[in-house]
Amino acid sequence: MEENLKAIVPHQFGGHSLCNARFCGYKRKPGSSYTHRSLPYKTSLQDSNLRQKLQQLFDPIIYNAGHYIDLGSSQQCEHANKEVTLRAPKSHHYGNSSSLDYRVHATAAFINEGRHYISKGYSMLGLSPGTHTVRHAEKCMKQREKKREKAKSPSTKLRRLLLKQERATNQGANEALEGDTYQSGKFICRTL
Residues that bind Zn ion (CB under 5 A): 11, 16, 19, 24, 26
Q: Which one, 29 or 139, has the nearer CB to Zn ion?
A: 29
Q: Which one, 55 or 133, has the nearer CB to Zn ion?
A: 55
Q: Which one, 16 or 103, has the nearer CB to Zn ion?
A: 16
User: What is the C-alpha separation between 45 and 191, in angstroms, rounded?
Assistant: 29
Q: Which one, 15 or 114, has the nearer CB to Zn ion?
A: 15
Query: At closest approach, how far in Å is the CB of 18 from Zn ion?
Result: 8
Question: Which parts of 25-97 fold into alpha helices (H)?
Answer: 25-28, 48-63, 65-68, 75-87
The rounded Cα 93 to chain-centroid distance in angstroms is: 28
User: What is the C-alpha separation between 158 and 155, in angstroms, rounded?
Assistant: 5
- C-alpha count within 13 angstroms, C-beta hemisphere, residue 33: 4
Query: At closest approach, how far in Å is the CB of 167 from Zn ion?
Result: 21
Q: Which residues of 81-107 are buried (b: 16+ CB within 10 A; e: fewer)?
A: eebbeebbeeeeebeeeeeeeebbebb
Q: Which one, 14 or 179, has the nearer CB to Zn ion?
A: 14
- Phi, psi of 130, rounded to the nearest 5 degrees: 85, 110
Query: At closest approach, how far in Å is the CB of 51 from Zn ion?
Result: 14
Q: Which one, 50 or 151, has the nearer CB to Zn ion?
A: 50
Query: At closest approach, how far in Å is the CB of 10 from Zn ion?
Result: 7
Query: At closest approach, how far in Å is the CB of 19 from Zn ion?
Result: 3
Long-range residue pairs from 166-172, CB within 8 A, at least 24 positions apart, any chain: 168/37, 168/38, 168/39, 168/40, 168/42, 169/42, 171/40, 172/39, 172/40, 172/41, 172/42
Q: DSSP assignment, residue 66?
A: H
Query: At closest approach, how far in Å is the CB of 33 from Zn ion?
Result: 13
